[in-house]
């Protein structure tokens, strides 16, 4: 149950997609003065060393964030959403050249970096080692009550955090999907969240692998959003062929750094997000693509 460690995968192409979307969504939500609560159901350790043993073993950052930083896109400039992501990474690596970036911020530290004094950040992490690392990393910020860290199963977080007092929230759910029941739990979490707080923004990361549950998940999420009468946005990034064997072989391929594609599904997305991703996704595909099967999709529903 506790074999997955995100430290092995920090800065890979899936992180690039997830964090480009997350930053763009938060930037729009933070344009309003009212307080925002951000909930991260599977927070991980929060900060990662790309020159450490874990990331060095997998080398996934080399085909993800390092490639992005070292490559000039066609036309010479990245789109605003991608450039904003790069700008934030440089904030965490002020003395490093792009090719020597050592620190990669996970979603908790990206959110903390963007949030204001009156906003709240609630972090859940069940893995015992990562939970200890997360608590230690957050403690260094001396953020007081603005950031709450819980060594708990984030799938059970909805009842305790929604709706927030400010009635404005973004919930990020990005489990490892190490256990195939995670797919059903993600759908159940969204269903419960929409019942408790229908106007919240919900962002769900998911892998695209040869597993029936993985293919069914975005369809289930679209159905849930439709039943609730809420708009949705689904962005995917494929970097190489996804023709891998089903079941255990697909999961093993993912663990070897072979994840071919991933997606971000949002309910109640900020209204400008689709436009920004329409400009960002072709660039991410061109720069991060590893074979002729590289591509992207961007769908929206009302």
> Any known ligand binding at 31?
no
> Any known ligand binding at 153?
yes
> Any known ligand binding at 19?
yes
d(CA 79, CA 18): 16
> Any known ligand binding at 226?
no
d(CA 29, CA 209): 31
> Any known ligand binding at 13?
no
> Any known ligand binding at 107?
yes
Per residue, what are the HEC states of 236-274? EEECCCCCCCCCHHHHHHHHHHHCCEEEEEEECCCCCHH
The arrangement of strands across the sheet holding 169-173 comes to: 147-150, 120-124, 37-40, 169-173, 201-207, 261-267, 232-238, 295-301
Name the residues annotated as catalytic. Answer: 174
What are the tokens at 150?
A: 């819980």
Q: At what angle do helices 13-29 and 80-92 cross, to 10 degrees?
A: 100
d(CA 266, CA 203): 4
Q: What is the DSSP letter of 115?
A: -
Which segments are annotated as binding site for S-adenosyl-L-methionine? 19, 42, 107, 125, 153-154, 174
Which segments are annotated as binding site? 19, 42, 107, 125, 153-154, 174
């Amino acid at each position: 149950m506790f074999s997955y460690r995100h430290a092995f995968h920090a800065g890979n192409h899936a992180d690039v997609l997830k964090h480009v979307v997350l930053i763009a969504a938060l930037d729009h939500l933070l344009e309003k003065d009212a307080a925002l609560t951000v909930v991260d159901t599977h927070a991980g350790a929060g900060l990662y060393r790309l020159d450490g043993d874990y990331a060095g073993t997998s080398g996934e950052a080399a085909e993800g964030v390092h490639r992005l930083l070292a490559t000039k896109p066609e036309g010479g400039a990245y789109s605003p959403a991608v450039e904003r992501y790069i700008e934030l990474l440089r904030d965490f690596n002020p003395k490093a050249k792009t090719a020597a970036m050592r620190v990669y911020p996970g979603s908790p530290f990206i959110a903390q970096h963007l949030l204001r004094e009156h906003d709240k950040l609630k972090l859940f992490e069940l893995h015992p080692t990562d939970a200890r690392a997360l608590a230690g990393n957050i403690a260094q910020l001396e953020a007081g009550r603005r950031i709450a860290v819980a060594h708990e199963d984030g799938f059970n977080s909805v009842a305790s955090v929604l709706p927030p007092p400010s009635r404005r929230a973004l919930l990020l759910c990005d489990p490892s999907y190490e256990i195939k029941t995670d797919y059903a739990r993600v759908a159940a979490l969204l269903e419960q969240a929409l019942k408790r707080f229908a106007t919240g923004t919900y962002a769900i990361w998911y892998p695209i692998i040869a597993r029936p549950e993985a293919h069914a998940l975005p369809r289930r999420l679209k159905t849930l959003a439709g039943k609730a009468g809420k708009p949705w946005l689904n962005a995917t990034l494929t970097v190489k062929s996804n023709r891998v064997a089903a079941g255990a072989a697909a999961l093993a391929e993912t663990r070897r750094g072979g994840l071919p594609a991933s997606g971000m599904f949002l309910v109640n997305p900020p209204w400008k997000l689709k436009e920004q991703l329409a400009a960002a996704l072709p660039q991410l595909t061109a720069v991060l693509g590893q074979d002729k099967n590289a591509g992207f999709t961007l769908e929206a529903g009302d």
